[in-house]
Amino acid sequence: MPDSVIHDIGYQRYEGVRLGRRYAVRSLWVYSLRSAYGLGRSAKAKILPAGLFTLACVASVVLVVVNNALHQRVLSYVGLVSTFSYAATVFVAIVGPELVSRDLRTNLLALYFSRPIERSDYALAKLGALAAALFGLFTGPLLIMLLGMAFNATGGVGGVFHEIGLFLEGLVTAAIHSAVFAAIALPLASLTGRRMFGTGLIIGVFLITAPVSGVLRTLDTGTLGRLAGLLDPVSLVNGVDRWLWGEGLYDTGQYGAAYGLVAVAVTLLGTAGLLRRYRRVRA
Amino acid sequence: MITVELTNVSRWYGNVVAVNDVTLTVRPGVTGLLGPNGAGKTTVLHMIAGLLGPSQGTVLIDGKPSFRNPDIYRTLGLVTENEGVPGFLTAWEFVLVGARLHKLPDPESAARRALDIVELGDAVNRRISTYSKGMRQRTRVAAALVHDPAVLILDEPFNGMDPRQRLHMMDLLHRMGADGRTILFSSHILEEVEQLSGVVQVIVAGRLAASGDYRHIRRLMTNRPHVFLIQSSDDRRLATVLMGQISVSAVELDPAGLQVRANDYGTFTRALSTVARHHSIRLTGVLPSDESLEDVFSYLVAQ
Amino acid sequence: MNTTIAALTFRALLGRRRVLLLLPMPALLIGLTLIAQSSPAFIDEWGPVVFAQLGLGVILPLTALVVGSSVLGLEIEDGTITHLLTKPLPRHEIIVAKLAVAWSVTTVATAVPLTAAALITGSAALAAGLVLGAAVGALAYTAGFLALSLLTRRPVAVGLVYIILWENLLTTFVAGTRILSIREQAVALSDSVAGTTWLPTHLNPVAALILAAVLTAIGILGATARLRSYSLSGETS
């Protein structure tokens, strides 16, 4: 048998720095976040996030004007976050499947899992990206409101600080809403490789539970009625708002803490479900 | 006997020109569409098959345009490159549905005949999702043949086929071509085209680079002289030396450099560097002057 | 109507496990009605929410969205649409067959549970009204979503934006937009037959019928026109 040899044509092994798992996960998170906003993709992909963001900011501007004209707070920061629940639902329903369905349908998952990142890393990075993307959408209108109200704040510097305090409340609310919505939407999206069905599934869950909890609320004004909001994501986070800051569109009575607990539980369960899905999916 | 005529056909997507002013005629018999990947073969085939409209020019099948003309499919069959077949059907059901959609008077026997031609055998009653790539390909060919079309268009039909299947398919296409059908298939592999078709249309970067008999084109390539522009440290001495080479047919001194006409590209390029080094002449520039032919020829020769 | 295409589409749609996803919504509707009916609350309080909001407002458009987008949309996504296009079939024949499948599946999946729920409340008139509203609404919805699946690669996203932003948000603020809301049309038609006060209607039923017919016609014509000049480049898109 003739001698075999690998010719030296200049290729070298890479002996340099390898940035490791943490960097890889962070890159995945950044990439997913950018993709959620349509950055680095065609113009059509930017329509949804840009449109929703613009809509929210415009509404915020209108609110600022109204607030200042009437010299009273028609809608607070927290209220602003709750008002956009519909838009938030549309966002996670469309962006969620976009983030995960392509990888499931093609062999991309195998490529991801053969890199230093773990399966759980992948799931958490995607979840984090979806939650962060939604959170980012809220920050625009909240900031606009802060600027608009702070300039007209009564009570000088103290007034401005008061505004900032309320703004921070709004930010926390936005974070909670984003986390809960993302934790519900992404596990559902990861069940199917087709974007169409993923979106339908998520929207189904959000839209159907709303009237159900609505009905239960009208049926019983007692305990059951108060707790009915736990069933649907929008009422759930509104109930948490009520518990934390005393505002929000949902009357929880004395069961506010239950809402907080269930919100945390839902987020944890959703994350666990997502992790389990990716642990078991064939790649 | 149906002829396909393309006249000044162009197709562009925004700024990208996929097909550039192509005029060709496909006559009855087997014609091969040859070209490297991304040359525009699929675009041309889809335009002929009525799945795409030309941005400019006309595509006529037997004198009638193919785009926006569903009736054309009575006499035309298309086998696309991708593998899109509904996996939940069996081959039998799939071809039968095709026969029914063609509104054939006896769909069952037409389907059976088509499946026999591609020799799928007993597998016809299994779901397509269980098939191998070659079997899926044959299913799609059967579906394209079920209505006995006079024009058959195949996009890279030998992709993924093993040698036995390829031989069988070539035999089939050859027979159909001899019957008087118009068969047009595309490929980027020289040998496939060589073995199957007499007439070849070569497409490179969206343009029609050559048409006709494959062997004639090959001969044209080697007979035709190539023109190079050479800049060196001593043009006149190089000119004298090169004129002594057999592969060179003419030499002209020009202020821009030395224009050399070579009749054998391969021999000339090898000789040039050797000769220059031997006479200590430094070459500072070597440019082929007729670019387009270079592309075609180097592609054909490199395979 | 081309029965071969219809049969094939039925099989593609219903022959898989995923059709089971159509079950939870009707079950929920019926279950909820049972609970509500057995509670002491007046039907005036929960009727509108169950029938107009949940039934006609969520279940109908969602089912129509998923079914209407997938009868043609899945084939476009898979690339199997070439098999349909390279046949000597007039394009409107294809569209009508697909629409018939989408419409019938949506109507059955929606009207049956709505009828059951209405009968639980003891009103046959309500049942009849809901069937009418669901059928007409389903036709307009599926025609529109079918056209969408040919016009864009994200028909579900666009349809969703229409359902949520137009039908749910805009119509509450801008009364004029109600005439183009299929949901309002469906509710109006149901109310005209049901004769109850539980369906909050804002449109005249005759106007609603005409508008629904117009929207359906636009959907069918648009889809046919688009299918006629459907371009398949074949290269990676």
> What local confidence, expressed as pLDDT, does residue C149 receive?
93
Burial of B19 (0-12, 13-18, 19+ CB in 10 A): buried
Tell me how far the alpha carbon of residue A100 is from its chain's centroid. 14
Contact (CB<8Å) B68/C80: no
Q: Which residue has the tokens 């009437």?
A: A70
Tell me the nearest-neighbour CA distance from A283 into chain C, angstroms: 21
For residues C191 and B94, the model is more confident at: B94
Contact (CB<8Å) C21/A89: no
- Name the residue in chain A with its Cα closest to that of C160: A90
Is pLDDT at B205 greater than 60 in this prediction?
yes
CA nearest A86: which of A202, A197, A206, A189?
A206
- Across the interface, which of C12, C16, C82 has its CB nearest the CB of B80? C82
* Check whether domain B223-289 has CATH 2.40.50.180, yes or no: no
Tell me the nearest-neighbour CA distance from B13 into chain C, angstroms: 10
Residue B195's pLDDT band (cuts 50, 70, 90): confident
Classify strands B64-65 and B56-61 as parallel, antiparallel or unpaired: antiparallel
Tell me the nearest-neighbour CA distance from C63 into chain A, angstroms: 9
- B235, B204 in Cβ contact below 8 A? no
Contact (CB<8Å) C164/A220: no
- Name the residue in chain B with its Cα closest to that of C234: B42
> What local confidence, expressed as pLDDT, does residue B184 receive?
94
Q: Could you give phi then psi for residue C114, rounded to 5 degrees?
A: -65, -40
Cα(C139)–Cα(C67) distance, integer angstroms: 12
3-state helix, strand, coil in chain C (%, to 5): 80, 0, 20
Domain ranges of chain B: 4-218, 223-289
Is pLDDT at C172 greater than 80 in this prediction?
no
Contact (CB<8Å) B43/C79: no
For residues B130 and B193, the model is more confident at: B130
Contact (CB<8Å) C88/B71: yes
> What local confidence, expressed as pLDDT, does residue B73 receive?
93
Measured between beta carbons, the chain C residues lying within 8 angstroms of B84 are 78-83
Contact (CB<8Å) B73/C87: yes
What's the rounded mean pLDDT across residues B159-187?
A: 88
> What local confidence, expressed as pLDDT, does residue A156 receive?
76
Chain B CB within 8 Å of residue C8 CB: yes
What is the per-residue pLDDT across C84-136, written as a single tens digit (0 to 9) for each? 999 999 999 999 999 999 999 999 999 999 999 888 888 888 888 889 999 99
Measured between beta carbons, the chain C residues lying within 8 angstroms of B155 are 234
Instruction: Name chain C's partners: 3 or more CB pairs within 8 A.
Output: A, B
Q: In chain C, which residues touch A (CB < 8 A)? A: 18, 21, 24-25, 28, 32, 35-36, 39, 41, 45-46, 49-50, 53-54, 57-59, 62, 65-66, 69-70, 73-74, 77, 154-157, 160-161, 164-165, 168-169
> What local confidence, expressed as pLDDT, does residue C235 receive?
54
Ramachandran class of A253: left when φ > 0, alpha when ψ lies in -120 to 50, beta otherwise: left
Contact (CB<8Å) C86/B76: yes
Cα(C237)–Cα(C234) distance, integer angstroms: 8
Chain C CB within 8 Å of residue A89 CB: yes
Chain C CB within 8 Å of residue A105 CB: no
Is pLDDT at C237 greater than 70 in this prediction?
no
Is pLDDT at B296 greater than 60 in this prediction?
no
What is the per-residue pLDDT across C130-160, written as a single tens digit (0 to 9) for each? 899 999 999 999 999 999 999 988 899 889 8
Q: Could you give phi then psi for residue B109, rounded to 5 degrees?
A: -70, -35
Q: Show the DSSP H helices in chain B as ranges.
A: 41-48, 91-101, 107-117, 133-145, 163-178, 190-196, 214-223, 235-243, 265-278, 291-302
> What local confidence, expressed as pLDDT, does residue A95 receive?
94
> What local confidence, expressed as pLDDT, does residue B218 receive?
66
Contact (CB<8Å) C35/A219: yes
- Name the residue in chain B with its Cα closest to that of C74: B86
Chain C CB within 8 Å of residue A48 CB: yes
Is pLDDT at C195 greater than 80 in this prediction?
no
Is pLDDT at B219 greater than 70 in this prediction?
no
> What local confidence, expressed as pLDDT, does residue C19 receive?
75
Residues (pLDDT < 70) of chain A are: 1, 248-253
Cα(A169)–Cα(A81) distance, integer angstroms: 10
Rg of chain B (C-alpha set): 24
What is the per-residue pLDDT across B115-125, written as a single tens digit (0 to 9) for each? 998 888 888 88
What is the per-residue pLDDT across B271-286, written as a single tens digit (0 to 9) for each? 888 888 888 888 888 8
- Name the residue in chain A with its Cα closest to that of C170: A86
Q: How many other C-beta atoms lie within 10 A of the C-beta of residue C200?
A: 14
What is the per-residue pLDDT across B42-82, written as a single tens digit (0 to 9) for each? 999 999 999 999 999 999 999 999 999 999 999 999 998 87
- The token duo for A175 is 């974070």
Q: Under CATH, what is the fold of the domain B4-218?
A: Rossmann fold (3.40.50)
Q: Could you give phi then psi for residue B152, rounded to 5 degrees?
A: -125, 125
For residues B264 and B153, the model is more confident at: B153
Is pLDDT at B303 greater than 50 in this prediction?
no
What's the rounded mean pLDDT across residues B137-147?
A: 92
- The token duo for B217 is 């084109």
> Mean pLDDT in chain B?
85
Tell me the nearest-neighbour CA distance from C112 into chain B, angstroms: 28
> What local confidence, expressed as pLDDT, does residue A32 receive?
95
Interface test with C, best of B46, B101, B139, B159 (most C CBs within 10 A): B101
